[in-house]
Structure 1
Amino acid sequence: MDAQQQLQRLLAGSGESEVVEFKEAKNTYHFDKLGRYFSALSNEANLKGVHSAWLVFGVKDNQRVVGSQFREAFKDLQSLKKEVADKVSQRLTFIDIHTVLHPAGRVLLFEIPAAPQGLPVAWDGHYYGRDGESLGPLSLEEIERIRSQNRLQDWSAGICPGASLADLSAEAIALARREYATKHPRMTAELPIWSDETFLNKAKLTIQGQITRTAILLLGKPEAAHWLNPASPTLSWILKDRDGLERDYQHFSCPLLVGADELYRKIRNLKYRYMSEGSLFPEEVDQYDPFIIREALNNAIAHQDYELGGKVSVVEFEDGQLCFSNPGAFIPGSVEQVIQADAPESRYRNRFLTDAMVNLNMIDTIGSGIRKMFLIQKNRFFPLPEYQLEQNRVQVTITGRVLDISYARKLAELPNLALDDIILLDRVQKHKSLSEGQVRHLKAQGLIEGRKPNFHISAQVARHSDDKAQYILNRGFDDDHYKRLICQLIEKFGSAKRADIDKLLVDKLPDVLTIQQKAHKIKNLLQALKKQGVIEPKGKLWQMPKG
């Protein structure tokens, strides 16, 4: 069917639906909104079982053609494919963009592919869907429906033919029994009479006495690791100095139940002393809360994609950071989604392994451990955990110190601040970008001010926390103040070099400006004074006009 026929079919149809959207778009259309429709229509096409969905420009929602001048230049229209792919998960883009010259005007038909099996499509990190003709977030149930289309066989439940109880560590089995008793106190009386085979079956480490990959991972002797080839049951601890140079390291293999505990003890976890701030902060705490260390480490073990052949790495930096990483995509899609849901995941990459680790008191599936990690860091006034989800790898960095004292004061002074707002303020202290909507939200609450990208704590919050000095350093004075300083310098010495003026002003300009931005600011001040006739250049000097 050619584009003309396709348009006629859509116009003659029942109108807009989950997989058809008409837009007038006479001249322009907001790029971000176009992207949200791409995500929504792609996901709905998947759920409806159709090959593609259609976004049509130049047609009103009453199916009347009005024509569109959106990106009339051919190259501008074709470049849209790459622009969309850059912000869509899996780098999906239009199957094609069809142009139809209808008697009532030019019509564009954007043919949008259905989301791949098992992979919901996100725009700029968010999943969108449709309820009839309405655009909105894709529901958790719909996300799970798409993800469940391509469930892989659970690698961790695989049987190791030929492996036996002799391949398991007696030390690890004894530790597993103790942890099982802690997790299941009602079974304490029965546990001593269970044989190892019975215990392993009940703890869901073996299947009817057969040794699983999970049993080898958690309880296997080091020499039994060959049963898991090409997977690597390895935990690596690396200590790096402030310059990023390696100072020490150690690798841990099977049994990971024991290895994880040994790695935990390698982390130094020094004391952190807060700056003197009256009664706002405690005197000192451990750099890293024990729950956070164990949660991040055990999650990496539980959710690693072992079929990729990588390993879990824990890098400890002497400047107060821990970095955990493991191979495999982040199945929930986004950290924000996990924090907002605050509920157990409905799907796990290694379900059998996860269940066993729950029984051995290593992880908990009652709620979101990630959210708890965020709250612990918030209550310590430390930066929030930072996740990097790219190149089929999950990396989380925990900072064990105050990064920005003004941010810490805000958390201390505003204890009821919503976690969503704290997450955004954490981005501000880390100098990370904010969307226009996030900026508007924070400014509406009076939490930040300034111009993109140099946002800083607002006057309202600064006054609340007695942070007026830091506020002035961030905001700076008005231009007239700096101009007066320049004139006073020139008047006192008769003339001044640019280097003298830089030396005078650099430390007085707002702290949020970079050195380059400060230099540009000084240049603008000098040019403004020159234009006003207050000063004039003479060679490499600035002086007052004569006469």
Structure 2
Amino acid sequence: MNRHLESILRHESENEVVEFKEAKRNFDFAKLGKYFSALSNEANLRGVKQAWLVFGVKDNKAVIGTQFRNSFKELQSLKKEIADKTSSRFTFLEIYEVNHPEGRVLMFEIPAAPQGIPVAWDGHYYGRDGESLGPLNLDEIERIRAQNLATDWSAEVLPSASIDELDPKAIKIAREKFIQKNPKYVSESEQWDDATFLNKAKLTINNQITRTAILLLGKTESSHFLNPSSATVTWILKDRDGLERDYQHFDCPLLLNVDEVFHKIRNLKYRYMKEGTLFPEEVDQYDPYIIREAMNNAIAHQDYQLGGKVSVIEFEDGRLCFSNLGKFIPGSIESVIQSDAPESRYRNRFLADAMVNLNMIDTIGSGIRKMFIIQKKRFFPLPEYVLDNNRVMVTITGRVIDIAYARKLAEYPDLTLEDIILMDRVQKRKPLKDEQAKHLKALGVIEGRKPNYHISVQVADHSGDRAQYIRNRAFDDQHYKQLIVEYLGKFGIAKRVDINGLLLDKLPDVLDANQKENKVKNLLQALKKEGLIKPDGKSWKMSKTH
């Protein structure tokens, strides 16, 4: 748990699902129970599996240690004491003792409230408002209770539909995939008629056709049964300027047509610079597992009641973008990667179960993490998720950003997947939180000032990317000022375009064009304040006193 504690300290500040307490020697039992209720309910509302109450840590995340219940037996007895006063006898998933260099830390793992059932402490529901503890408000209580009232769109029976609406070829392929997934039924299944098979595979309910059956196995002309929802998956090819070059729509039966989409993606060969034997000469731009996992996940988790379609956009510059409508139920990609466990809730539970039975997806919860690991092993940028506007979008890049850097960084032994995710943000010029930057600097893998972090000399030296490191590293401002003064001393006067020509190619590559322009502007203003130069119309020249 040391690593998990460090992850919480590095990534999390106090919020509705993480609470730090000093608890140097003791902690009020009633207050502990209220925090249990509050954190459990907030975890449910935010779609995460657990919340954390951490003893021995100050609000500013400084570890000071705790002496709370030093006896292991007394500490573990807390589980029963909490269960005795909570609704449904809810209690901690686990209590961890962590021996941190600064002292003993206790980590209480609190499960999210069950779907549809808020957790009460001593007869009262508690919640959080930012960092404050208080009663769970009525709206939040009703939001939790309403979870059990939600219907599964994918499980709805279509009374007017019959087995004739299903594609015979799709049923045949479904049988083959079902046996691949469930080989124990290989002999028994030979005696099943189609209606029995569809019930066994959880595509129909008591011989009644469901929306899931139409979506996965329905004939193209049967898609009207899903109206106003759409079963469409759209593939689009865009050029390097983002202009549409080609497109095609795919409809029911999706069990067959996901293969058509897969084969529509060009997936060209990507050639590595041949050097040594670390890399193969060429690989597919996109790993087949990643394509199928991203596409089938989009189909399984699409919010069909919103009336949109699943899209697969292929860019000629080596990117694939998959998107579907609906909130990302786990809450964040980080929580999925860290937990690496099955989700407790699904938007389309019936559809997801059917897709599991047909070997299209799995529910072991490791699919996203596996996508990250595959990209890491290929030395390609990690998958990039955007979760906003009630949409989930993931972009897969099928090329190396920097071959020399990637080749040697892959050999760097001390970086965890979580560390590499942060390093990936640096490579993509994405912002880091202060604590994330502090962590990477402590590892010695980045340098620079916020927001212009770049690869450090330690990794550059390890990766052979010394030239890029020098291009990223800035000279002292005095160096640039001296260049300006020497130029004006020699030529007498200079326009801004002249000074740009003097400096822009000498400024570090880590700065973009606008940042370089602002840097030159700031240098000129600094020299003006120092009385060394002055403006002359739209030009600059030396002050008379110099």
- What's the TM-score once normalised by structure 2's chain length? 0.73
Structure 1 residue 478 displacement after superposition: 2.4
Q: 2:355 aligns with which of 347, 354, 357?
A: 357
Q: How do 1:230-379 and structure 2 match up within 5 A?
A: 230-275=228-273, 279-379=277-377
Report the CA distance between 1:272 and its aligned residue: 1.5
Kept in 2, the 8 Å contact 1:536–1:542? The answer is yes
After superposition, residues 141-180 of structure 1 pair within 5 angstroms as 141-142=111-112, 144=114, 149=145, 150-151=147-148, 152-180=150-178
CA distance in 2, matches of 1:191, 1:168: 19
Q: Give 2:400's aligned residue.
A: 402
Q: SS at 1:161's partner residue?
A: coil
RMSD after superposition: 3.4
Q: Could you tell me which residue of structure 1 aligns to residue 133 of structure 2?
A: none
Match of 1:36 in 2: 14
Q: Which runs of 5+ in 2 are unaligned?
A: 1-10, 20-26, 29-36, 60-105, 119-142
Distance 1:40 1:457 in 2: 31
1:284 aligned partner, one-letter code? E
Q: Which moved more, 1:141-150 or 1:363-372?
A: 141-150
Contact kept in structure 2, 1:183 and 1:359, CA below 8 Å:
yes
Note the C-alpha offset of 1:285.
Answer: 1.4
Q: CA–CA distance in 1 between the matches of 2:448 and 2:381? A: 22
Which sits farther off after the overlay, 210-219 or 134-143? 134-143
Report deviation, 1:463.
1.4
The equivalences for 1:88-127 within 5 A come to 120-121=44-45
Distance in 2 (CA, whole Å) between partners of 1:486 and 1:372 is 52
Q: Determine the structure 2 residue equivalent to 1:459.
A: 457
Deviates more, 1:127-136 or 1:333-342: 127-136
Q: Distance in 1 between matches of 2:221 and 2:42?
A: 37
Cα deviation, 1:381-407, whole Å, max 9, x if unaligned, reads: 111111111122111111111234565
Q: Percent identity?
A: 63
Q: Describe the shift of the 1:133–1:225 C-alpha distance in structure 2 as closer, same or farther (beyond 3 A).
A: farther
Q: Is the 8 A contact 1:494 1:544 kept in 2?
A: no
Kindly indicate whether the alpha-carbon contact (under 8 Å) linking 1:407 and 1:426 is maintained by their aligned counterparts in 2. Answer: no
Classify 1:412/1:131 alpha carbon distance in 2 versus 1 (closer, same or farther; 3 Å): closer
What's the secondary structure of 1:249's corresponding residue?
A: strand
Q: Which amino acid aligns with 1:142?
A: A
What secondary structure is seen at the aligned counterpart in 1 of 2:385? strand
Distance in 2 of aligned mates of 1:188 and 1:225: 31
Deviates more, 1:495-504 or 1:423-432: 495-504
Per-residue CA shift, 1:483-530, capped at 9, x if unaligned? Answer: 443455445545544432321211111111233332333344445556
Question: 3-state SS of the aligned residue for 1:343?
Answer: coil
Does the residue aligned with 1:454 lie in a helix, a strand or coil? coil
C-alpha distance 277-524 of structure 1, shift in aligned 2 (>3 A): farther
Tell whether the 8 Å contact from 1:384 to 1:399 is kept in structure 2 after alignment: yes
State the shift of 1:544 in Å.
8.6
User: How much does 1:220 deviate?
Assistant: 0.9
Do 1:234 and 1:312's aligned partners in 2 also have CA atoms closer than 8 Å? yes
Question: Residue 139 of structure 1: CA displacement?
Answer: 4.6
**1:542 equivalenced with 2:541 (yes/no):** yes
Answer whether contact 1:491 1:544 (CA < 8 A) is retained.
Answer: no
Shift of 1:423: 0.9
**What is the match of residue 11 of structure 1?**
none
Q: Matches of 2:401 and 2:450 in 1, distance apart?
A: 21
Cα separation, 2, equivalents of 1:115 and 1:460: 41
SS in 2 for 1:542: strand
The alpha carbon displacement at 1:355 in A equals 1.3
Name the residue aligned to 2:131: none
For the residues of structure 2 that align with 1:118 and 1:208, how far apart are their CA atoms?
38
The one-letter code of the counterpart of 2:332 is S
Q: Residue 390 of structure 2 aligns with which residue?
A: 392
Structure 1 residues 138-147 or 498-507, which shifts more?
A: 138-147
1:140 Cα deviation (Å)? 6.5
Equivalents in 2 of 1:314, 1:489: separation in Å? 54
Contact 1:234 1:254 (C-alpha < 8 Å) held by counterparts: yes
Residue type at the aligned position of 1:36: E
Q: Label 1:527 to 1:280 Cα distance change in 2 as closer, same or farther (>3 A).
A: farther
Q: Letter of the aligned partner of 2:251 in structure 1?
A: S
Change (3 A) 1:329 1:530: closer
Out of 505, 508, 511, the position equivalent to 2:509 is: 511
Matches within 5 A, 1:175-194: 175-194=173-192
1:474 — aligned with what?
Answer: 472
- Please state how far the C-alpha of 1:408 moved relative to its aligned partner: 2.4
Name the aligned partner's letter for residue 366 of structure 1: I
Which SS does the other structure have where 1:316 is aligned?
Answer: strand
Q: Distance in 1 between matches of 2:386 and 2:108?
A: 23
- 1:258-285 deviation digits (Å, cap 9, x = unpaired): 1111111111111122345655543321
One-letter code of the match for 1:425? Answer: M
Is the Cα–Cα contact under 8 Å of residues 128 and 137 in structure 1 kept in the other structure?
Answer: no
Q: CA deviation at 1:477?
A: 2.1
The question of whether the paired residues in 1 share the 8 Å contact of 2:380 and 2:399 is answered with yes
What corresponds to 2:419 in structure 1? 421
The one of 182, 202, 205 aligned to 1:204: 202
Greater alpha carbon shift after TM alignment, 400-409 vs 312-321? 400-409
Give how far 1:190 is off.
3.2
Shift of 1:357: 0.8
Cα separation, partners in 2 of 1:140 and 1:237, compared to 1, 3 Å: farther
3-state SS of 1:451 partner: coil
Contact 1:231/1:308, CA 8 A, preserved across alignment: yes
For 1:388, what is the secondary structure of its paired residue? strand
Question: Quick check: 2:18–2:39 contact (8 Å CA) kept in 1?
Answer: no
> CA contact under 8 A between 1:413 and 1:464: conserved in structure 2?
no
Change (3 A) 1:214 1:117: farther
Contact conserved, 2:170 with 2:255, CA < 8 A, in 1?
yes
Secondary structure, aligned partner of 1:346: coil
Change (3 A) 1:519 1:253: closer
Secondary structure at 2:324 match in 1:
strand
Task: Find the counterpart in structure 2 of residue 93 from structure 1.
Answer: none
Partner of 2:67 in structure 1? none
Of residues 273-282 and 390-399 in structure 1, the stretch that sits farther from structure 2 once superposed is 273-282
Residue range with higher mean Cα deviation, 315-324 or 147-156: 147-156
Aligned partners of 2:355 and 2:540: how far apart in 1? 73
Give 1:367 shift.
3.6
Q: Distance in 2 between matches of 1:430 and 1:259?
A: 34
**Deviations along 1:34-93, whole A, 9 cap, x unmatched?**
x8355669xxxxxxxxxxxxxxxxxxx99xxxxxxxxxxxxxxxxxxxxxxxxxxxxxxx
Distance in 1, Cα, partners of 2:49 & 2:541: 54
Amino acid at match of 2:112: E
Cα deviation digits, residues 439-489 of structure 1 (max 9, x gap): 111111111111111111112111121222111111122234334434554
* Aligned CA distance change for structure 1 residues 139 and 404 (closer, same or farther; 3 Å): farther
Q: Secondary structure at the match of 1:262?
A: helix
- 516 and 315 in structure 1: CA distance in 2 versus 1, 3 angstrom threshold: closer
Kept in 2: contact 1:144–1:346 (CA 8 A): no
Question: Are 1:441 and 2:439 counterparts?
Answer: yes
Partner of 1:87: none
- Residue 393 of structure 2 aligns to a residue in which SS? strand
**Which stretch of structure 1 is more off in the superposition, 222-231 or 365-374?**
222-231
Q: Helix, strand or coil for the counterpart of 1:431?
A: coil
- The CA deviation string for residues 137-179 of structure 1, in whole angstroms up to 9 with x for no partner, is 9956225556974132222222111322111110101111121
